[in-house]
Chain A
Amino acid sequence: GAVVSQHPSRVICKSGTSVKIECRSLDFQATTMFWYRQFPKQSLMLMATSNEGSKATYEQGVEKDKFLINHASLTLSTLTVTSAHPEDSSFYICSASPGPAGQYFGPGTRLTVT
């Protein structure tokens, strides 16, 4: 149980275009989902917390107009990187939480902006 899927696993896009990443909890409902960014050999950096039916809460320094988050249902959250630039290239990971039992993570998306 507690499986989280993330799609796509890899994406290459051109500078200036937008990319959408989907995160789904497959066998549980998640009132809260999280989006992280991870640089090589570093820990996870929380970008935003997404609650179903309400606006996402962004961490300091994360541009909310650039990283659009939508949490339309209890099993789906999306992250859209708008007007992507090479510096947005990174590994993005989502997680979903069924409660205080912890967070369950998706397999991640490697974004490369050329």
Chain B
Amino acid sequence: AQTVTQSQPEMSVQEAETVTLSCTYDTSENNYYLFWYKQPPSRQMILVIRQEAYKQQNATENRFSVNFQKAAKSFSLKISDSQLGDTAMYFCAFMSLNNAGNMLTFGGGTRLMVKP
């Protein structure tokens, strides 16, 4: 079974600054996807970024980028030029490609507060 750990329950950052959210995972598999989801106060889960494990290049989506370290089983999210709208819960998630059901294993979440 896979586990996903987010060691930072809460974080804060000043507007326009950069913040990095940590995520580690444990798996014996080699083929998988990793995701970061954002859940703002509206509670709508939003896919932020996705990384395929077979790709060495780190995924980027505008101000969001990841640092994927496969050997270390680490998948951190960097948010650049933080905006007030980035205030949300952030969940790291794992999906095995060996699991035909596309099931996600979530971390416990990190609550990010962007301060003006």
B33 at the interface (CB under 8 A from A): yes
A42-B109, A43-B106, A43-B107 given; 8 more Cβ-contact pairs under 8 Å: A32-B101, A43-B91, A46-B103, A51-B101, A101-B33, A102-B50, A102-B102, A105-B37
B19 at the interface (CB under 8 A from A): no
Tally chain B residues at the interface, Cβ within 8 Å: 22
B47 at the interface (CB under 8 A from A): yes
Q: List 27 A-B contacts (CB under 8 A).
A: A32-B101, A32-B102, A38-B43, A41-B111, A42-B108, A42-B109, A43-B107, A44-B45, A44-B91, A44-B106, A46-B103, A49-B101, A49-B103, A57-B101, A93-B45, A97-B102, A99-B102, A100-B97, A102-B47, A102-B50, A102-B102, A103-B102, A105-B44, A105-B45, A107-B42, A108-B43, A108-B44
Chain A, 49-79, CB within 8 A of any chain B CB:
49, 51, 57
Residues of B near any A CB (own CB < 8 A): 33, 35, 37, 42-47, 50, 91, 95, 97, 101-104, 106-109, 111
Smallest CB gap from A57: residue in B: B101
Smallest CB gap from A101: residue in B: B50
Collect the chain A residues with CB atoms within 8 Å of residue B107's CB. Answer: 43
Bound Cα distance from A105 to B97, whole angstroms: 20
Q: Would A103 and B109 count as touching, CB distance under 8 A?
A: no
A95 at the interface (CB under 8 A from B): yes
Collect the chain A residues with CB atoms within 8 Å of residue B45's CB. Answer: 44, 93, 95, 105
Q: Would A43 and B33 count as touching, CB distance under 8 A?
A: no
A28 at the interface (CB under 8 A from B): no
Which 4 interchain pairs have the tightest Cβ spacing? A105-B45, A97-B102, A107-B44, A43-B106
CB A58 to nearest CB in B, in angstroms, measures 13
